[in-house]
Amino acid sequence: MKRLIQAADHQRRLLWASLPFNYRWAELLIRLAVDTRTTFGRVIYTIFLQRGVTGMPPIKGKPAEEFDLNKAPHHLVPEGYGADFASKVWGVAVRMLGEEGASDVMQNLQLTLLGDPKKLAEGKTLSEAQSYVTGAIKLLALEVLRHQKRHPGDYGKGDPAGGGEDDAPKVEIADTSAVVEIMDWINEQSRGKVMPALMRDLSRIPGAVPYVKAILEHGLTDNEIVGDYRKGRPAAVEWFNENPMTVQNFGNRVKPKIREVFKKYVEELRSDAN
């Protein structure tokens, strides 16, 4: 059984490494962008507006269909718009997976819909669109639970005591237009220009380089990368075995510093793209 789990894990990493770099980069941006609930609500309701969902709540006292995303800061609906729905989705995901697992599936769905908004059919009612998103979250969570049941030794289990990112500083790498533009534009030339300087800046933050490489190169979850020394669960990245910390502490103390570095480079990439 252990060999089967190791073989499956190796195959998963090979598949991840074969994905285009821009997809892996976008996954990293989405991972860094959380505050999960605030980001999820804004991103999903922005996509609802883009897809012509009907019956959406007014924005700043005016009908939602009159709101111009092209003129809005960061091409997003206002902060707090969609927050009630995001809290409901969060509650569903937490009940199924715990806080850390909930963050993972909500981030994954954001990335999926950012990459292909047409997965949500145009012209749905608000209740239909919300049901689609909630159903997608449940399906993703069930996939995680089935995987955990088949491979109980795997990392990345939901932990009701985990989380802790909701108080993290918010940066606009959650900007839908930023992520999509960078996914469309980033290429070998921009990688050669940006990545060495990015890694040099990240090297000043303890744990940042192994964390970023673990996502870009292997697609590991935060739970896998950091592990849980309190439960005897080793980290998949050796740096975190030598410097043990919890996912919560890493999210609260280290991720905000990584976000600030990435914010600088995302802005640089966008200015070059334009």
> Would you list the domain boundaries of the chain?
2-273
Residue type, 10: H
Distance, CA of 187 to chain centre: 21
Contact in structure between 236 and 145 (CB atoms under 8 Å): no
- Cα–Cα distance for residue pair 195/209, rounded to 1 Å: 11
- Cα–Cα distance for residue pair 58/64, rounded to 1 Å: 5
Single out the residue of 256, 246, 257 nearest to residue 222, CA to CA: 246
Average pLDDT taken over every residue of the chain: 77
**Percent of the chain residues past pLDDT 70, beyond the cut:** 73
pLDDT (tens digit per residue) in 131-151? 999 999 999 999 888 877 776
Q: Does the pLDDT value for residue 190 go beyond 90?
A: no
Sorted by sequence, the CB contacts under 8 Å of residue 187 that are 6+ apart come out as 22
Indicate the pLDDT class of residue 103, thresholds 50, 70 and 90: confident
Sorted by sequence, the CB contacts under 8 Å of residue 65 that are 6+ apart come out as 56
Please tell me what DSSP assigns to residue 125.
Answer: B
Q: Does the pLDDT value for residue 155 go beyond 80?
A: no
More confident residue, 93 or 104: 93
Sorted by sequence, the CB contacts under 8 Å of residue 105 that are 6+ apart come out as 93, 97, 137, 140, 141, 144
Q: Classify 271 as helix, strand or coil.
A: helix
Average of per-residue pLDDT across 185-196: 66
Q: Does the pLDDT value for residue 185 go beyond 60?
A: no
Bridge partners (DSSP) of residue 228 are 233
pLDDT (tens digit per residue) in 215-250? 888 888 888 899 888 878 899 999 999 999 888 778
Average of per-residue pLDDT across 92-103: 81
Contact in structure between 247 and 184 (CB atoms under 8 Å): no
Q: Does the pLDDT value for residue 90 go beyond 90?
A: no
Query: Which residue in this structure is represented by tokens 């930023």?
Result: 178
72: left (phi over 0), alpha (psi -120 to 50) or beta: beta
Give how far Cα 217 sits from Cα of 16, 209, 221, Å.
7, 12, 12
Q: What is the per-residue pLDDT for 253?
A: 82
Please tell me what DSSP assigns to residue 196.
Answer: H
pLDDT (tens digit per residue) in 47-86? 999 999 999 999 989 999 999 988 887 788 888 889 889 8
More confident residue, 233 or 22: 233
pTM above 0.75, yes or no: no
Sorted by sequence, the CB contacts under 8 Å of residue 116 that are 6+ apart come out as none
Residue 179 belongs to what H/E stretch?
helix 176-185
Indicate the pLDDT class of residue 188, thresholds 50, 70 and 90: low
Q: Does the pLDDT value for residue 45 go beyond 90?
A: yes
Q: Does the pLDDT value for residue 214 go beyond 60?
A: yes
Query: Which residue in this structure is represented by tokens 């800046």?
Result: 201
Give how far Cα 270 sits from Cα of 31, 179, 263, Å.
19, 10, 11
